[in-house]
Each structure stands twice: as structure tokens, then as C-alpha cells.
Amino acid sequence: MDNRSDVRAFLTSRRARITPDKAGLPAFGGNRRVPGLRREEVSLLSGMSVDYYTRLERGDLSGVSDTVLDSLARALQLDDAETAHLHDLARAANTSPVARKPRNRTGGDTLRPSIQRLLDAITEAPAIIRNQYYDYVAANRLGRALYAPVFAEAVPNSARFAFFNPAAQDFYPDWDKVTQEFVAAMRGDAGRNPYDKRLTDLVGELSTRSQTFRTLWAAHDVRYHRTGVKRIHHPIVGDLDLTYEAFELPADPGLQLSTFTAEPGSPSEDALKMLASWAATAEPPAPRRDVTTEDARNGP
């Protein structure tokens, strides 16, 4: 991943979406050739010279301070995820050449027994654990039942399922929204770990095989994937609207636990109970524990 290109595209795209009116500036001149703010306006709002901002937008974040980055984030009205991404891009730009060598990260493919026991103890809500490469590495019984189409694949991977499996558009009624969220979360992951070869390979595979992914990746949108509502059309129990909560596991870097619940008294709660009954009688496919780099690169 080219840091300078990413910085340039990110800052340019964020500047383009802010109008003078939205920024609280008078719109001088009737012939604006840019869709959003001019560079001069961003420099004014952020308290830096035009030349300095121009240098940043051209992709050069070397030596930039956190104070400058925070001022720029306020000027461009970045949210928390976008601000963190800007800092990640600056951190990568200031990483030594030795540290930039592509590498495969270790961990994230195995689960401690105590975490599996925790999953199994959650009996009334689906719960799954994924790694930083979007592989589903573990789940409780109800989690495997909820995501049965994903777990049916040789290496359950939520990103590959969403972009490569035709069944995904039926499984996710809000497929457009889901894929946007996937890419925005992955863009943030790539900013935090720009020299992670396995993640870079995954992005390359998705870009090569999916026009939708390429288009969304080029937008440079970033977001956290921590809570929200997931709409699922399950092949057995039908439609479910579930609230998800995602938790990082501090003792297991790269692993994220997600749980799903339904509103009490809702049709989704009834469907979730039906799913639990089905899961108790028809064991869904269990996730493979031996996810390897080669498996992840080749896909299903």
C-alpha cells in the first residue's frame, strides 16, 4: 500500500465533501472549480500556511505533529474513526524503512480455551469471534447457526463471503450498506497495519476479484465497526433485525468478539428462538481452527 497515495486521496476526498457553508465560511466568488473547500480555505480553518497544507495533501506527512493533525481533523470535520486514520497514516509515514518491510503477523488464528468456554456460556445470543483478516475463528452454537452460510465455506471469511458468494445478497438485505461497512472497517485496519502482508494480500485479492470492492476502496471511507443493527435474511428462519456489539479482546490482539440480540417481544426475537431450536437439532458446520496464510490467500 502506497502511503503517500493514501494520504493524498484521503485528504482530497475529505476536503471535497465540505462546502464553505458547512464550514461556516462565506462562499466568495460564483465560479468554484472544486466541489468542496479550496486548499486556501482548509489552511485558514486549520491555522497553517497554504504551502504547508499543500505539502500535506500531496502525501508528505513526515515530521507532522499530533497538534497539526488534530487541527486538520477539526478543519475537515473528521469523525473519531477518520481522525484516528489520519494519525495512523502519519505514523506509517514516519516509520523507519526497516520497520516498513512487509511481514506476516502472528496470532489471531487460535483461540484460548477460556475464550471458547466464554462463547459456549453465551446460550441465548449468537456470538462469534473473528480475527484481523475477517476469518471467523470461533462461535457458539447459535452464532454458527446464524452465520451458517459463512461457516459452510472451507475457511469462513466474512469479507470473501460478502463480495464473492452470490448468496450474500440474499443473506444481507442491506448488502450495499454491509459491503460499505466492511470496506470502511478494512480501510481503518489497513491504516493501522500498513505493512501487514496478509492483510495487504486480502485487500489485493478482493480488489482483483470484485469491482464493487474496488469502487468502495477508492472512496477512502473509514468507520468503526463497534455497534449497530444487522439485518439478515436467514435461509431457515427468515428475516432478523439484530443489534450487534463488537468487543476487542485485549489479551488476544487481532481478535474481536461480536454478539447479536433482538428487541424483546419483536418478530426477530421469535425468529432467534426458532433458530436456537433448529441449531439444537441440526448442528451447523463448525469453524476450522487451522486457518493458514495460504488458505486465506486462496480463499474458498
- CATH code of residue 81: 1.10.260.40
Q: Are 226 and 123 within one domain?
A: yes
Q: Are 35 and 64 within one domain?
A: yes
List CB contacts of 105: < 8 A, sequence separation 6 or more. Answer: 132, 193, 196, 198, 199, 254
Kindly list the strands in the beta sheet with 238-248, ordered across the sheet, starting from the edge strand earlier in the chain.
Answer: 136-139, 127-130, 256-261, 238-248, 227-234
Query: How many domains does the chain contain in total?
Result: 2
Q: Indicate whether 105 belongs to any domain.
A: no
pLDDT value, residue 110:
78
- Residue 122 pairs in a beta bridge with none
Higher pLDDT, 35 or 9: 9
- Is pLDDT of 286 > 70? no
Entry pTM = 0.84
Q: Are 69 and 142 within one domain?
A: no
Cβ proximity of 46 and 28 under 8 Å = no
One-letter-per-residue 3-state SS of 90-142 = HHHHCCCCCCCCCECCCCCCCCCHHHHHHHHHCCCCCEEEECCCCEEEEECHH
pLDDT, tens digit, 9 for 90 and up, residues 115-133 = 999 999 999 999 999 999 9
Q: Are 127 and 261 within one domain?
A: yes
Q: Indicate whether 148 belongs to any domain.
A: yes
Whole-angstrom distance, CA of residue 292 vs CA of residue 299: 11
Q: Indicate whether 98 belongs to any domain.
A: no
List the domain range (segments joined by +) for residue 125. 113-298
pLDDT value, residue 294:
37
- Is pLDDT of 5 > 60? yes
Whole-angstrom distance, CA of residue 175 vs CA of residue 167: 11
Whole-angstrom distance, CA of residue 33 vs CA of residue 158: 41
Q: Are 164 and 237 within one domain?
A: yes
Q: Indicate whether 103 belongs to any domain.
A: no
Q: Are 72 and 154 within one domain?
A: no
Nearest to 271 by CA among 126, 119, 121: 126
Q: Indicate whether 224 belongs to any domain.
A: yes
Whole-angstrom distance, CA of residue 282 vs CA of residue 145: 9
